[in-house]
Structure 1
Amino acid sequence: MLPPYGTGPVCGISSTFVNVSDAQRQLLLSWMRASEVSEEDPAVFAVLCAGHRDVLPLPQPTGRSAATVAGELMRNPGDPRTASEWAESLYTSSTSLRRAFRAETGLAFSEWRTRLRLNHSLQLLAAGHMVSAVAARVGFVSTNGYILAFRRYFGETPGAYVKRSATRTAA
């Protein structure tokens, strides 16, 4: 993912966070450095947009406390600690931590963590792990809760996603 350079409207333009692979990042950077309009521009955008339906935008916090929590959760998405427990370990208030997440990412702490967990679950599903094992590993209390969250964000169950991904890969 490209680092966030700011949020909100700037000169009437609002920014949107987009997750990109390293290869897509390199392509985007080389395209941005080019000074001329190219016939390949539409193709560049098509490559950059490929596959983004399956990844939820996940802006990264920049402040000390929120970035510390985000870093730890990225290493272990299944960490069960609440915002209050995180705040206590960082010697800050849970209100300050929650406000930092909202201000720096545009998302509530719980929403940010759910997106992180769902994004991480995509990798585990692609690796062939069972849905129940994925749910537990990324920190959902129940498999049913994971399936409901997955369906809410991606419009299909994890099992349907795996089947569709397998079909897409085979094609």
Structure 2
Amino acid sequence: MSNSRHQPTAPTAIRELAAAAGVTAHWHDEHQIVYASRGVVAVHTETSRWIAPAHRALWIPAGTVHAHRAYGVTRLHFLGLTQNPLKLHEPTALTVSPLLRELLIAYTSLNDRETPAGKRMRSVLLDQLTTASEQPVRVPAASDPRLAAVCALLETDPSDSRGLEALGREAGASGRTLTRLFREDLGMSFPQWRTQLRLYHALRLLAEGRPVTTVAQQCGFATASAFIDVFRRSLGHTPGSYL
């Protein structure tokens, strides 16, 4: 993302994106919340990718180079913040409660946010943000070339069910070495990373209107019920709620 743009102010605004449209890499001097009330938004940084459906918002700290990509027709709500009420210094996905969702939609829709009513709404909105739990779908990027080769194989085909020994033969590394690299380079185990990758792709496909059974198969889950179970435990909702 070396060609990123510098936009000093993080805007508070609404933006409509067509399916597969995006916002090129840029960074702000201010913090920002990004929320999709419709569709699914993915945020790419130099080290990771996050994806956020309607039950998640993304916190992007000041100075973070990032790009957006929409899956399905997407309505984005941006909230710029000069302060850091969340005390978070890395991009993070946050749970969006029904109340927080309505506050994000209403506040970003205001024509004048400096009225007494607008200031009160902002205060309640910030209170809700500070109590939101962290529940990411995050796919960190590998820096080690052997690990990056294995990750690329699974990116191409998330349904690939081979273990690390088999994948490592194509990348020139043993299963033991790759197990260590997943922990050291990505901060998670191989099964955890693969689950995050599969959920990332599943959310993209669901946003495109693919049936749950098709998504489960294309993302490597043994059965549709296994997919629904992992999805619910990870995101708190069933895949059908995203269709």
Query: What TM-score results when the alignment is normalised by the length of structure 1?
Result: 0.68
Q: What is the total number of aligned residue pairs between the two structures?
A: 129
How much does 1:126 deviate?
1.0
Deviations 1:107-166 (A, max 9, x none): 10111011001110111111111101100001111111111110011101101232xxxx
Match of 2:193 in 1: 112
Alpha-carbon shift at residue 92 of structure 1 (Å): 2.2
Q: What does residue range 42-61 of structure 1 map to in structure 2 within 5 Å?
A: 45-46=32-33, 49-51=34-36, 52=52, 53=56, 56-61=137-142
Within 5 Å, give how 1:20-169 maps onto structure 2: 23=23, 25-26=25-26, 29=27, 31-32=28-29, 41=30, 45-46=32-33, 49-51=34-36, 52=52, 53=56, 56-162=137-243
Distance 1:88 1:72 in 2: 12
Unaligned 5+ residue runs, structure 2? 3-20, 37-51, 58-135
**Using the alignment, how far apart are the partners of 1:25 and 1:145 within structure 2?**
36
Contact 2:207 2:242 in 1 (8 A): no
Structure 1: runs of 5 or more not aligned: 4-20, 33-40, 163-171
1: CA distance, partners of 2:137 / 2:231: 11
For residues 72-114 of structure 1, the C-alpha deviation after alignment (integer angstroms, 9 at most, x for no partner) is 2112111121112112333322110111111111010111011
Distance in 2 of aligned mates of 1:92 and 1:150? 31
Q: Which runs of 4+ in 1 moved over 6 A?
A: none
Aligned residue number for residue 128 of structure 2: none
CA distance in 2, matches of 1:57, 1:69: 17
Alpha-carbon distance between aligned partners in 1 of 2:32 and 2:237, rounded to the nearest angstrom? 26
CA distance in 2, matches of 1:135, 1:155: 17
Q: Which amino acid aligns with 1:116?
A: L
Identity %: 32
Distance 1:150 1:96 in 2: 29
1:45 maps to a residue whose letter is Q
The structure with the largest helix share of the pair is 1
Which protein has the bigger strand share? Answer: 2
Q: Residues of 2 paired with 1:25 and 1:106: CA distance? A: 25
| Alignment root-mean-square deviation, CA | 2.3
Rounded to whole Å, the distance in 2 between the matches of 1:100 and 1:45 is: 32
For residue 140 of structure 1, give the secondary structure of its aligned residue in structure 2.
coil
Describe the SS at the equivalent of 2:140: coil
Q: Given the two structures, how large is their TM-score scaled by the length of structure 2?
A: 0.49
